[in-house]
């Protein structure tokens, strides 16, 4: 038990240290707070010199409260919530049952059996929450830790219930093995939770490096990375690959007349309209300034021209609004296809750009095929 308390204290210190910075996510702070409570409760339960109320009753309530905070952090990580009422109920159950087997029907064996099963089930609930999230590659270590910890606690509770061992479990191989498994599971949980946060930050950095912050479309770096994949996929599948280059007409006039916030809203509005036409395997990128790119997998030249014309008409019909201002705008488009320009995305974009500028020279608000 001393080893368990020490390992709990060390893993708690690790979680607290990882959560002690300004930008730490809320779930990390919940996990740290929960582990602090669990460590405090375990310490209270092992100090026999304390009053019975603290030693045998309050300690289990504190542990249950800490596990409830950990569950709340897991729900926050999964973009869900766990109410304070639920945490209060988890804590109250632990307090009432511990009080019953301490005051009304004193039984150390019964109290240890109950807490083993109860805390084991709470840990399994944590494993189930993460498993439902279906991010096994990221949360697999934490899931394994919660599952293993729940198994060790329930195993210990079942052993004390069924075997004629002393109530404190002394001289029991099962209790000794569970005392070894519990710290290992706690280490898995701590490192698994930190790994989950690291993966989320890595994904956020990846998105920041490949997405345009204003419109949410791919930026040029993201287009280069994902465009190659789409091109190779279309080439291997023997499908056509179409590129539509789109540029807002008189965008500088919009900025000069209404201000840059309105210009930004026009770009966001255009990105939303373009995204409506996207299928799951198509790409939308902001190529620069007011210029956008659509990469359409499995679309030939004639079909791409129809898509572009439909978009052009819709853009002309729609209105971008910001506060009390309403702005109408149009766009010029150039359409090219791999049937004429191969599957090299750079060549397709260059040809599409040339077609788009031909549309501008021809009077704007039109579609030209490269």
Q: Report pLDDT for 336.
A: 94
Q: Which two tokens stand for residue 88?
A: 């209060």
Spatial neighbors of 138 by CB under 8 A, at least 6 apart, are 195, 196, 199, 200
pLDDT above 90: residue 74:
yes
Q: Report pLDDT for 292.
A: 95
Q: Report pLDDT for 171.
A: 52
Q: Report pLDDT for 315.
A: 93
Spatial neighbors of 285 by CB under 8 A, at least 6 apart, are 212, 217, 218, 219, 220, 222, 223, 227, 292, 293, 295
179-183, 294-298, 327-331, 355-359: which range is least confident on average?
179-183
Q: What are phi and psi of 249, to 5 degrees?
A: -75, 135
Positive or negative, the Cα torsion across 125, 128, 130, 132? negative
Q: Which residue in the block uniquely carries the two structure tokens 């109530």? A: 167
pLDDT above 80: residue 310:
yes
Euclidean distance between CA atoms 103 and 153, whole angstroms: 24
Active site residues: 290
Q: What pLDDT, in 10s, does the model give residues 193-239?
A: 888 888 888 888 877 888 888 998 999 888 888 888 888 998 898 89
Q: Enumerate the domain spans of the chain.
A: 2-210, 220-369
pLDDT above 60: residue 164:
no
Helix (H, G, I), strand (E, B) or coil at 304: helix
Q: Which CATH architecture has domain 220-369?
A: 2-Layer Sandwich (3.30)
- b/e code 130-151 from CB counts within 10 Å (16+ = b): beebebeebbbbbbbbbbbbbb
Euclidean distance between CA atoms 208 and 122, whole angstroms: 36
Q: What pLDDT, in 10s, does the model give residues 238-275?
A: 899 999 999 999 999 999 988 999 999 999 999 999 99
Euclidean distance between CA atoms 316 and 119, whole angstroms: 62
CA distance to 242, 329, 342, 356, per residue, from 351 (Å) = 11, 24, 11, 9
Euclidean distance between CA atoms 309 and 359, whole angstroms: 12
**Stretch 286-307: mean pLDDT:** 92
pLDDT above 80: residue 22:
no
Q: Report pLDDT for 190.
A: 86
Percent of the chain whose predicted confidence (pLDDT) is above 70: 96
Q: What pLDDT, in 10s, does the model give residues 25-68?
A: 888 889 889 988 988 888 888 877 888 888 889 999 999 999 99
* DSSP character string of 131-194: HHHT-HHHHHHHHHHHHHHHHHHHHHHHHHHHS---TT-TT-HHHHHHHHHHHHHHHHHHHHHH
253: Cα within 13 Å, side-chain hemisphere: 7
Instruction: For residue 59, give the nearest of 85, 40, 35 by alpha carbon.
Output: 40
CB atoms within 10 A of CB 78: 16
Q: Which two tokens stand for residue 369?
A: 């095929």
Give me the helices (H) in the chain, please. 2-19, 26-46, 52, 59-77, 84-99, 108-133, 136-162, 173-210, 220-237, 251-258, 260-276, 301-317, 338-341, 345-361
What are the beta bridge partners of residue 296? 242
pTM (global) more than 0.85: no
Mean pLDDT of the chain: 87
Q: Do 222 and 43 touch, CB atoms closer than 8 A?
A: no
- Rounded to a whole number of angstroms, the CA Rg of the chain reads 30
């Amino acid at each position: 038990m001393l080893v368990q308390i020490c390992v709990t204290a060390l893993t708690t210190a690790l979680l607290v240290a990882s959560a002690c910075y300004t930008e730490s996510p809320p779930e990390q702070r919940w996990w740290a707070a929960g582990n602090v409570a669990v460590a405090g409760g375990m310490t209270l339960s092992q100090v026999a010199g304390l009053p019975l109320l603290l030693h045998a009753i309050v300690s289990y309530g504190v542990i249950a409260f800490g596990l409830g905070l950990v569950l709340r952090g897991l729900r926050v990580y999964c973009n869900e919530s766990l109410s304070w009422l639920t945490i209060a109920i988890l804590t109250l159950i632990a307090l009432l049952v511990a009080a019953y087997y301490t005051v009304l029907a004193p039984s150390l064996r019964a109290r240890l059996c109950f807490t083993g099963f109860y805390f084991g089930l709470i840990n399994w609930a944590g494993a189930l929450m993460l498993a439902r999230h279906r991010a096994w590659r990221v949360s697999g270590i934490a899931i394994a830790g919660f599952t293993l910890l729940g198994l060790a606690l329930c195993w210990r509770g079942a052993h004390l219930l069924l075997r004629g061992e002393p109530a404190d479990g002394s001289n029991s191989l099962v209790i000794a093995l569970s005392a070894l498994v519990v710290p290992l599971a706690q280490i898995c949980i701590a490192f698994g939770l930190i790994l989950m946060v690291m993966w989320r930050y890595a994904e956020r950095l990846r998105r920041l490096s490949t997405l345009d912050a204003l419109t949410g479309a791919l930026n040029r770096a993201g287009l280069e990375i994902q465009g190659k994949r789409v091109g190779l996929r279309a080439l291997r599948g023997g499908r056509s690959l179409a590129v539509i280059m789109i540029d807002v007409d008189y965008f500088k006039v919009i900025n000069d007349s209404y201000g840059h916030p309105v210009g930004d809203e026009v770009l966001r509005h255009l990105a939303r309209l373009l995204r409506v036409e996207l299928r799951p395997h198509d790409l939308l990128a902001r190529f620069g300034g007011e210029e956008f790119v659509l990469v359409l997998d499995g679309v030939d030249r004639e079909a791409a021209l129809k898509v572009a014309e439909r978009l052009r008409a819709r853009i002309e019909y729609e209105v971008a609004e910001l506060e009390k201002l309403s702005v109408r705008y149009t766009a010029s488009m150039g359409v090219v296809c791999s049937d004429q320009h191969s599957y090299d995305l750079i060549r397709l974009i260059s040809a599409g750009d040339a077609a788009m500028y031909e549309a501008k020279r021809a009077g704007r608000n039109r579609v030209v095929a490269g």
